[in-house]
């Protein structure tokens, strides 16, 4: 069974009732772009992290948990 990538970020999105498509639009990207990052196929950029964190109101203290994988 494959593990879910970026579970903390996905949990926050679920709690705020926002989809990948909606979030992608809010940060000025397409859903495919964001999906590739959330599935671990491409890395998040610093700009992506800042924009997503701002949109989802994620404090800097949680950025590592949300955007870095073990």
Q: What is the pLDDT of residue 70?
A: 62
Question: Rg of the chain's alpha carbons, rounded to an integer?
Answer: 11
- How far is C-alpha 22 from the chain's CA centre? 12
Output the furthest CA–CA distance in the chain (Å, rounded): 33
- pLDDT recorded at residue 1: 42
- Residue 3's pLDDT is 61
At residue 5, the pLDDT reads 82
pLDDT of residue 69: 74
Phi, psi dihedral angles at 51 (to 5 degrees): -65, -45
Question: Per-residue confidence of the chain (70 residues) as pLDDT tens digits?
Answer: 446 689 999 999 999 999 999 999 999 999 999 999 999 899 999 999 999 999 999 999 999 999 987 6
């Amino acid at each position: 069974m494959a593990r879910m990538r970026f579970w903390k970020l996905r949990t926050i999105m679920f709690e705020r009732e926002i989809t990948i498509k909606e979030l992608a639009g809010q940060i000025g990207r397409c859903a495919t772009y964001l999906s590739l990052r959330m599935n671990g196929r491409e890395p998040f950029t610093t700009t992506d992290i800042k924009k997503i964190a701002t949109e989802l109101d994620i404090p800097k203290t949680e950025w590592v948990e949300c955007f870095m994988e073990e």
